[in-house]
Chains A and B, each alone.
Chain A
Amino acid sequence: MTAGNMAEEHGRKWDRCLADTVLKTATGLGVGIVFSVLLFKRRTWPLAFGSGLGVGMGYTNCQHDFRSPYLIHGRVVKDQ
């Protein structure tokens, strides 16, 4: 690990995270708009739903990214 990598990593993670969330929200919103216009007679709920979906996905991704060092991957060993 090069110097300052760890400290900077935190900042980098946040950058990724936020960017990703914003992108997802926007995308969700867009898809919501499309669905609202095309299928749901211009109701507002698909927008909320889509943006919510986006935010949620972004949040989860962010959380996963921050958690990634602590995740333990286990394997089930079956007795043969």
Chain B
Amino acid sequence: MLRACLRGANATARNHCRRSPGTSLQHCRHYTAGESSSGASKVIATGLLTVSGGVGGTILYAKWDHKFRAAVEKNVPYSDRLLGLALGPAPQDVGLPVKNQVELAQPPSMMEKQVKAPKAKSEKKVKDSAGSPAKEPSPVVTQPAQSIEEMSQEASAEATHIISAISEVPSVPAPCDTEAAAVKEECKECHDHKDTPAAVHPNAESPSAAEPLKERPVEEVAARLAQQDQEEQDILASVSASLEESLASSAKATLQAIGAQEAALQAITQHTHKLKEAMEAEEKSAQWKDLEAALADRTCSVNDAGTALLKANEALGALRSVIDDSKGLKIAAVHPLVLAAEENLHNMIVDLDKVVTKVQSAESEAKIVSQYSELVNEAKQQFQREVSSLTPEIQANWKGLTGKLSADDLNALIAHAHRRIDQLNRELAEQRVREQIHIDAALEQQKLEDQKALEKAVNTSLQHVKEDARLEQERKLAELREVMEAEMRTQLRRQAAAHTDHVQDVLKVQEQELRAEADQVLSSKMLEQETRYRQLNQEQLDNFTLDMNTAYARLKGMEEAIDSHVVAEEEARRAHQLWLSVEALNYTLKTADADVPTVPLKSAAEAVRDSCHDNDFAMALASALPEESLHRGVYSEASLRARFNSLRSLARRVALIDESHNSLYQYFLSYLQAALLFEDKQEAPPTQLSREDLDPFKLLSYASYCLEHGDLELAAKLVNQLRGEARRVVEDWLTEARLTLETRQVVSLLSAYANAVGLGTTQAP
């Protein structure tokens, strides 16, 4: 009918064409004329235009829509190159932002801490070292406090020096380095300290200061001190002995000298006196003899005095040298002795000088008197001569000659006397005139002499005063030294007291510590013993309990064995029943025919459930049978196999159809594929499915193979891999297959279980 219609339509079309040939012919001619010349070119042009329009449109749309571009690139080969040329490379996905790695550099606080730590450490160490040298000298008793102060000052100076040096370090120094440096500096500082006290300390009393400061044991110190004292004592003794000796000798000499001088003085005075007397008296030869004797005495005594003085001076010189030597020894205890000796020396010298001056004054006096006596003698002799010249017969002793003289002699004598008197008067007048001059001259002379004597006296007194002053100074010095010594002794005593206090404290602390330690040890030992005792107790108890338990357990075991026997028999009976019911169930499975399901398994399942009331496992299994199988029964494997074969062709035909490809065109293609594609009827499935094996055709061939070889499970698994329409088509076959498999599994499990239980309960013969 359609063809007829079509024919009719064609005819009418042709009629229409024929009806108007003229116009159409012209048109046709026009067309044909046009066509013959530009038909091909037109076609080509339009074709090109269309193609280019299509391509351009595709490119433009690809530029706008990236998904379209991706789809085009995927489906059309070499389009990606074209699109890349036209539009540039496809925009990539912006990947995950690159994580910036935060470098955990050492925070500056750490660096500061490290720098501060060695600083603090070195400060502490410096302080300790400053403290320790200050502490160390305290056991050494003989060091004065001054040196300690000086050392602490030096230590602080050193500390500031070290700290300033450390702060100059820029980077983080290794702690060990700074420590080493600090230690080195400390060592240097220590050495400095050790050197300075030796330099500072002037006293030779403590020769130990020259060595490096370290605490010597007390005995050594005491021994040293004793030795020093002993030495001092010896020296002192020797010095004092020598001093005393020299003092004694000099004193003796001086006394002797003084005595001699005094004797001389006495002799001189006596002589002077005698001379005076002799002068005054007229003629006493005894007196003259006495005078001579006195003179002789005087000269002798003067000589003695001179020699004694020399000796005394020698002795004093020796004493002075001894004093100087002992001064050179520089021992404090010697000083007072030295001082006393010096004072004695001075006194002796002073006395000697005094006596010497006395003697000298006496001598001068004597000289004057002797001069006077000489003058008188001279005058007397002159007179005698004159008298004798006048009156030669008159003898010297004219006083007794009163009766013997004549008047002439008397007149001559009187005239002589008168003449003499005149002469004397004249001389007297002359003398009076010359008196002044003489007196002046004498005064001058006296002045000179006085001056000399004064100078000498001044010198001697100056010397004495100087000596006195020096001695005073020395005395004062000695006093001061004593005072200082006393003070120092008190300070040292104080330090010693402090030291003893400290030692006491330390001892107390140590005692406490030791006590605590001892207590701890005691308690630990006690604890040990207790634990051991308890352990032994426990062991005994445990052993006993163990024995009891074993006995009890054995009893229990025996009871249980008996019970279990009873139970086992019961079990065996029940197992037999279960086995029987399961066998019945198994048999029902075999009642399936081709295309007809089995008998509903309900009754058999009921029987099984009855026979295993108390067995949870069997109950679970029995109730795990699917409902369908209970009510309707299951298909046999053979029927499923048959069905599969018919299903296979259908599945092949709809292989290309799925959720996205399901238009009729796709159906046509799918049919075409099924018609053209040939695969094995049956192919052994590999152990592991790869992506190529998920092709429906392959899967179907694998499934067929499995079914032929009776492996329904694997076949079902393979069929399960189908997707899309093919899967929908085989869905109910799959469900049936599952059902069958399930039921068979449950039944096989039950039978296995029943067998196992049966075997288990079977008693070995």
Interface residues in chain A, defined as those with a beta carbon under 8 Å from any beta carbon in chain B:
1-7, 10, 29, 33, 42-44, 47-48, 51, 59, 62-63, 66-67, 69-70
Stretch at the interface among B6-14, B91-99, B449-457: B6-14
By the criterion CB–CB under 8 Å, are A63 and B663 in contact?
A: yes
Residues of B with C-beta under 8 A to A69: 728
By the criterion CB–CB under 8 Å, are A10 and B650 in contact?
A: yes
A32 (CB) vs chain B CBs: closest residue:
B5
Whether, in the assembled complex, B168 has its beta carbon less than 8 Å from a beta carbon of chain A, the answer is no
Alpha-carbon separation in the docked complex, A62 to B1 (Å): 23
CB distance from A70 to the nearest CB of B (A): 5
Q: Pick from B2, B659, B662, B728: contact of A6, CB below 8 A.
A: B728
Q: Pick from B10, B13, B646, B664: contact of A7, CB below 8 A.
A: B646
By the criterion CB–CB under 8 Å, are A44 and B667 in contact?
A: no
Given A63-B662, A66-B664, A70-B659, 6 more A-B residue pairs with CB atoms under 8 Å apart are: A3-B736, A6-B729, A6-B731, A29-B2, A44-B5, A44-B9
26 pairs, CB–CB < 8 Å, chain A vs chain B: A1-B731, A1-B732, A2-B732, A3-B736, A4-B643, A6-B731, A6-B733, A7-B646, A7-B729, A7-B732, A7-B733, A10-B654, A10-B729, A29-B5, A43-B12, A44-B5, A44-B9, A44-B13, A47-B5, A59-B664, A62-B664, A63-B662, A66-B667, A67-B662, A70-B659, A70-B662
By the criterion CB–CB under 8 Å, are A3 and B732 in contact?
A: yes
By the criterion CB–CB under 8 Å, are A47 and B9 in contact?
A: yes
B643-671 interface with A by 8 A CB criterion: 643, 646-647, 650, 654, 657-659, 662-664, 667
Alpha-carbon separation in the docked complex, A40 to B658 (Å): 44
The secondary-structure label for the interface of chain A is helix
Residues of A with C-beta under 8 A to B736: 3
Whether, in the assembled complex, B239 has its beta carbon less than 8 Å from a beta carbon of chain A, the answer is no
CB distance from B218 to the nearest CB of A (A): 101
CB distance from B276 to the nearest CB of A (A): 168
Interface residues in chain B, defined as those with a beta carbon under 8 Å from any beta carbon in chain A:
1-2, 5, 8-10, 12-13, 635, 643, 646-647, 650, 654, 657-659, 662-664, 667, 728-733, 735-736
Residues of A with C-beta under 8 A to B2: 29, 51
Which residue, B12, B647, B664, has most C-beta atoms of chain A within 10 A?
Answer: B664
Q: Pick from A6, A43, A48: contact of B730, CB below 8 A.
A: A6
CB distance from A31 to the nearest CB of B (A): 13
Residues of B with C-beta under 8 A to A33: 5
Alpha-carbon separation in the docked complex, A70 to B657 (Å): 10
Residues of B with C-beta under 8 A to A67: 662-663
Alpha-carbon separation in the docked complex, A1 to B729 (Å): 12
Residues of A with C-beta under 8 A to B659: 70
By the criterion CB–CB under 8 Å, are A5 and B12 in contact?
A: no
B657 (CB) vs chain A CBs: closest residue:
A66
By the criterion CB–CB under 8 Å, are B8 and A44 in contact?
A: yes
Residues of B with C-beta under 8 A to A62: 664
Which residue, A1, A4, A42, A51, has most C-beta atoms of chain B within 10 A?
Answer: A4
Q: Pick from A1, A4, A42: contact of B12, CB below 8 A.
A: A42
Alpha-carbon separation in the docked complex, A47 to B9 (Å): 9
Alpha-carbon separation in the docked complex, A6 to B646 (Å): 12
Residues of A with C-beta under 8 A to B733: 6-7
By the criterion CB–CB under 8 Å, are A7 and B650 in contact?
A: yes
Residues of B with C-beta under 8 A to A1: 731-732, 735
A44-B13, A62-B664, A69-B728 as given contacts; A7 in contact with B647, CB under 8 Å: yes
CB distance from B645 to the nearest CB of A (A): 11
Residues of B with C-beta under 8 A to A42: 12
Alpha-carbon separation in the docked complex, A3 to B634 (Å): 11
Residues of B with C-beta under 8 A to A43: 12
Alpha-carbon separation in the docked complex, A33 to B5 (Å): 9
By the criterion CB–CB under 8 Å, are B662 and A5 in contact?
A: no
Alpha-carbon separation in the docked complex, A33 to B728 (Å): 42
Which residue, B5, B13, B657, has most C-beta atoms of chain A within 10 A?
Answer: B5
Q: Which 7 A-B pairs have the closest CB atoms?
A: A44-B9, A70-B659, A67-B662, A63-B664, A1-B732, A6-B732, A6-B729
CB distance from A20 to the nearest CB of B (A): 13
Alpha-carbon separation in the docked complex, A43 to B5 (Å): 11
CB distance from A12 to the nearest CB of B (A): 12
Residues of A with C-beta under 8 A to B657: 66
Which residue, B657, B732, B735, has most C-beta atoms of chain A within 10 A?
Answer: B732
Alpha-carbon separation in the docked complex, A73 to B731 (Å): 23
Alpha-carbon separation in the docked complex, A39 to B274 (Å): 217
Alpha-carbon separation in the docked complex, A61 to B8 (Å): 30
A14 (CB) vs chain B CBs: closest residue:
B667
Residues of A with C-beta under 8 A to B658: 70
Residues of B with C-beta under 8 A to A59: 664
CB distance from A44 to the nearest CB of B (A): 3
Alpha-carbon separation in the docked complex, A63 to B12 (Å): 35
A59 (CB) vs chain B CBs: closest residue:
B664
Alpha-carbon separation in the docked complex, A66 to B668 (Å): 12
CB distance from B225 to the nearest CB of A (A): 108
Residues of A with C-beta under 8 A to B729: 6-7, 10
Residues of A with C-beta under 8 A to B1: 29
Residues of A with C-beta under 8 A to B650: 7, 10
Alpha-carbon separation in the docked complex, A69 to B654 (Å): 14
Alpha-carbon separation in the docked complex, A51 to B733 (Å): 40
CB distance from A55 to the nearest CB of B (A): 11
CB distance from B447 to the nearest CB of A (A): 151
Residues of B with C-beta under 8 A to A3: 635, 643, 732, 736
Residues of A with C-beta under 8 A to B735: 1
